[in-house]
Amino acid sequence: MKPPAFPSCAVLWLLAPVPPGSRIDAFRHEARRTLARRAGSRLRWAIWFLTDRARFWALYREALCHLTAFFRDPDVTAALRHSVLPAIVKRLSDKASIRVWVPGCSTGAEAYSLAILLAEVLGECVAARPVEVLGMDRSEEVIGRARNGFYTLAELHGLSPARLERFFTPENGGYRVNGQLREMCSFSRHDLLEDVPPGDLDLVSCRNVIGHFVNRSRHSEVFRKLHECLRPSGFLVLGKNEPLCPPPGLFSTCDLRLRIFKRVELPSSTQQA
Ligand SMILES: C[S@@+](CC[C@H](N)C(=O)[O-])C[C@H]1O[C@@H](n2cnc3c(N)ncnc32)[C@H](O)[C@@H]1O
């Protein structure tokens, strides 16, 4: 969900009442919550908006930069559930671990959504199968929230009642991820540009990060990194909000609209270069 382009519209967008339970509501809820947490209270961010615009906009940009949601895009979710994850499970032997990396995972919704989809694809085999979903972000604060695994009902808007019941436990007016998801997911601080990525991955899901946050001069370097950390034929999912595609030669295209790609092997001379 993109906020409106003009600053005054953006504030109206943030403050306007919307029917509870809609996807927009979940985004707005998160933006308001982050603003209030950063400023100390909603009253204070409203005062900053009226009196100190520079400070308010810095806060506003930061609040929006972590926006995320469970099952954020139904088309991408369907492709993962029915095509990408079944292909990964089929390709690996029954005992091999399935390794997924989510760089720029924000507060954990994308990583937990992938773990839920994997649990559904694996069915009864999920208990016997090692699964590692590695959620990482450069912000220590959002990683803390992801580890905590506690969400309000508004934040869980994308979940069906059946998934909510199976994977979450009600607690203090909200919901906490249950033991099964906790075992599948781990979270740590990691900067996609500066730090060494994990290896031997079957899937990298890097949505709403590269085109929005990474300086253009470093795009090729990041795509090369994402290529190197994948296993042969591993998948790269950028999602349909991503304006960029990887440079030619590193990946074959599975779905251009949803920005889903598969690693291709480079000739050995190119790999060493
Ligand atoms: C808009 S959120 C996207 C969250 C999630 N991937 C999704 O699509 O719902 C972008 C996240 O990327 C993180 N991020 C931006 N640049 C990063 C970098 N260089 N390394 C790691 N994380 C980064 C931000 O901290 C933010 O939490």
Asked if residue 207 has its Cβ within 6 Å of ligand 1, the reply is yes
How far, in Å, from the CA of 125 to the mean position of ligand 1?
A: 32
Q: What is the DSSP string of 123-186?
A: GGGGGGS-EEEEEEES-HHHHHHHHHTEE-TTTTTTS-HHHHHHHEEEETTEEEE-HHHHHHEE
Higher pLDDT, 6 or 203: 203
How far, in Å, from the CA of 20 to the mean position of ligand 1?
A: 26
Determine the pLDDT at residue 17.
64
pLDDT in tens, 174-215: 999 999 999 999 999 999 999 999 999 999 999 999 998 899
Higher pLDDT, 86 or 152: 86
Tell me the best of 137, 157, 226 to mutate to test the pocket of ligand 1, counting ligand atoms within 8 Å of each CB and taking the most.
137
Confidence (pTM): 0.86
Tell me how far apart the alpha carbons of residues 63 and 30 are, in angstroms, rounded to a whole number. Answer: 8
Residues 6+ away with beta carbon under 8 Å from 196: none
Burial 182-197 (b: 16+ CB within 10 A, else e): eebbebeebebeeeeb
Domain architecture of the chain: domains with CATH: 7-65 (no CATH), 74-272 (3.40.50.150)
Asked if residue 67 has its Cβ within 6 Å of ligand 1, the reply is yes
Asked if residue 240 has its Cβ within 6 Å of ligand 1, the reply is no
